[in-house]
Amino acid sequence: MSDAEQSFRGVERRGLMFVLSSPSGAGKTTLSRMLVKETPDLQMSVSATTRAMRPGEVDGRDYFFIDQPRFDAMVETGELLEWAKVFDNSYGTPRKPVEDALAAGKDVLFDIDWQGTQQLRDRQANDVVSVFILPPSVQALEQRLHTRAQDSDEVIRGRMKKAGDEMSHYDAYDYIVVNDNIGIAFEAVKAILRAEQLKRERQVGLGAFVQKLRQQL
């Protein structure tokens, strides 16, 4: 349905917060990239962070790079939807860009863990749709981590240990997708997003539109 059709009908859609979470190596990042590439009006959430900018990164595109006092002030004034401390750095999602996108009928994709997901749900439960990506097996997960050739054996062992904790929170999510085949998993994630976009409660002005149709009968 095009924007013109929506305007003509007088029905506008409120956007949603679409969360993808998974253990490292289960395919979340690949699925996120595929979804953004193929889905109109879906934008990736940009986090604020206190860590230093890395070569090639752009402020406002990769992260909003800020100092710790500014980050703490954003937490205090309610400017963040969710936040966490990772090692010595703070990360959080600025509220305003997300709320502006939702009001404009655009969806926002989040790549966050279960704790961040719970914070989003605590603040704006009606706007959150969460999907957890599982590997088909522990062996497949370990093989994928080795195939990426990005981490040492020690780091991979740490990621595998953390994966157990992350997977234990699967029941905090709305949907579960087992990524045994990236193409099939992508179709499943895309179908979830499309179904959630069509939910009645996200259609602003739907009641008036239906009433107008009834009057014409």
Tally of structural domains, the chain: 1
* Residue span of the structural domain in which 135 resides: 3-201
Strand-strand pairing, 80-86 and 89-94: antiparallel
Q: Is residue 146 included in any domain, yes or no?
A: yes
Q: Is residue 215 included in any domain, yes or no?
A: no
**pLDDT, tens digit (0-9, with 9 covering 90-100), for 167-193:** 999 999 999 999 999 999 999 999 999
Q: Is residue 160 included in any domain, yes or no?
A: yes
State residue 87's pLDDT score.
75
* Distance, C-alpha 50 to centroid of its chain: 21
Q: Is residue 28 included in any domain, yes or no?
A: yes
pLDDT in tens, the chain (217 residues): 455 444 556 789 999 999 999 998 899 999 999 999 999 889 999 999 999 999 999 999 999 999 999 999 999 999 999 999 887 899 999 999 999 999 999 999 998 999 999 999 999 999 999 999 999 999 988 888 877 666 677 888 888 888 989 999 999 999 999 999 999 999 999 999 999 999 999 999 999 999 999 999 9
* Distance, C-alpha 17 to centroid of its chain: 6
Torsions phi, psi for 177 (to 5 deg): -125, 125
What radius of gyration, in Å, describes the C-alpha atoms of the chain?
19
State the residue for tokens 């863990």. Answer: 113
* Distance, C-alpha 147 to centroid of its chain: 25
The Cα–Cα gap between 190 and 197 comes to 11
State the residue for tokens 């969710």. Answer: 82
Strand-strand pairing, 107-111 and 42-44: parallel
Q: Is residue 111 included in any domain, yes or no?
A: yes
Stated pTM of the model:
0.87
CATH number at residue 35: 3.40.50.300
